[in-house]
Amino acid sequence: MATWEEIKDNPIKQDLIKKRAQIIRLIREFFWSENFMEEDTLSTWSTAGQEPYLNPISLNITNEKDQAQRFYLQTSPEYAMKKLLSVGEENIFQICHCWRDRESFGGLHYPEFLMLEWYRKNKDYFQIMTDTENLFKYISKNFGQEFLIYKDQKIKISEAWDRLTMREVWQKYLHLDLNDYLTIESLKKLVAEKGYQVNMNDTYENLFYQIFLNEIEQKLGREKPVIIYEYPATMASLSRLCPHDSRYTERFEVYISGVELANAFGELIDGTEQEKRFLAEQELRKQLNQESLAIDKTLLKALNYMQDNQETASGIALGVDRLVMLFTGADRIDDLFLTTLSS
């Protein structure tokens, strides 16, 4: 842990903290130069995101009348940002703190971390891919860091990034056609054949990531950054289905040196469909013995309002601390900020 006592006598850690601040400034400068509006939404909400595999941190806040109300620290500002799009905002970004329970205290994770999210109204998610590539190149040029570094591996980012569909990734690394494994039954069989554990209550996503994390992820972005897009529709989350093939969804992730940095969507702008997905996620949370979370009805109204006005949107969430790790060569995410823990 980077405690005060450690930092005051360690010029290397002092330099990391300064570089983190410099990179955050460059992120803002990039989006200002692209005519984005910077937003600042609340970090505490009466409803939490429905993601089955994320654990929000709750707290009770008491008002001046001694009345307590339960709130959740945001795991992402996504719902708030979409509501802003629905009331007239166009290109928007936000750099904010997010919190997730049951995370490790170091390495690539920390319970509190800095998130960058940006959204474009009436633009597809290929524009977000271009934004992401341009952001990294802008930071590289102005930070004076030609290479991204992680675990002694140098990744040059000045060249055009690779873009591969998830189906192409499976063909490249597994020599398998993902089209043959889009049902839970077919995927269970493959996972078992590969010698991984299969449980009765496994979801498609559980099974998918047993293969992806063990056999693919660490190989991604070793020579230059890669964008992986078109995930199976059963992993749609908050994204819309691909118009050309409803078996896949408009979702992409960014990988550099085997590290996942960002998750992006061609956003689902359909409150009715989104509610169906939220209900399915509520049911999955029950199966996983997770806390049951109320659905954000205002978000559904906002999405329907955008749909009625024939508006679309695309957006992305990017981990700022992981980005800083790659630009500075830091080994652990917790080396980048002063903790409140004592030595």
The confidence score (pLDDT) of residue 96 equals 97
Mean pLDDT along residues 252-279: 96
Predicted confidence at residue 343, as pLDDT, reads 45
pLDDT given for residue 2 in this prediction = 61
Fold of 4-174+216-335: BirA Bifunctional Protein; domain 2 (3.30.930)
Q: Can you read off the two tokens belonging to residue 180? A: 């043959």
18 exposure class (CB count in 10 Å sphere: 0-12, 13-18, 19+):
exposed
The yes-or-no verdict on residue 1 having pLDDT over 70 is: no
Whole-number pLDDT of residue 331: 84
Residue 103 above 90 pLDDT? no
Q: Supply the pLDDT for residue 106.
A: 81
pTM of the model: 0.94
Over residues 244-248, mean pLDDT: 97
DSSP string, 183-231: SHHHHHHHHHHTT----TT--HHHHHHHHHHHHTGGGTTSSS-EEEEEE
Share of the chain above pLDDT 90, in %: 75
Q: Has residue 297 got a pLDDT over 80? A: yes
- pLDDT tens-digit series, residues 143-200: 998 888 787 888 989 889 999 999 999 999 999 999 999 999 999 999 999 999 998 8
What angle, rounded to 10 degrees, do the helices at 11-33 and 125-143 form? 130
Give residue 28's pLDDT band: very low, low, confident or very high (50, 70, 90): very high
Q: Is residue 342 very low, low, confident or very high in pLDDT (cuts 50, 70, 90)? A: very low
Q: How confident is the model at residue 53 (pLDDT cuts 50, 70, 90)?
A: confident
Instruction: Out of 49-63, 130-144, 312-326, pick the least confident.
Output: 49-63
- Tokens read off for 129: 């891919």
Largest Cα–Cα separation, the chain: 64
Pairing of strands 259-266, 153-156: unpaired
Report which of 156, 162, 134 is spatially closest to residue 327, judged by C-alpha positions.
Answer: 156
pLDDT of the residue at 146? 85
The mean per-residue pLDDT over the stretch 114-118 comes to: 97
* Contacts of residue 8, Cβ cutoff 8 Å, sequence gap at least 6: none
Residue 187 confidence (pLDDT):
97
Residue 107 predicted with pLDDT over 80: yes
Instruction: Give the pLDDT score at 170.
Output: 98
Contact 235, 220 (CB under 8 A): no
| Residue range 17-43: mean pLDDT, rounded | 96
- Total residue count of the chain as it appears in this document: 343
Q: What is the mean pLDDT of the chain?
A: 92
Q: Is 304 left (phi over 0), alpha (psi -120 to 50) or beta?
A: alpha
Q: Residues 168-179: pLDDT tens digits? A: 999 999 999 999
pLDDT of 26 > 60? The answer is: yes
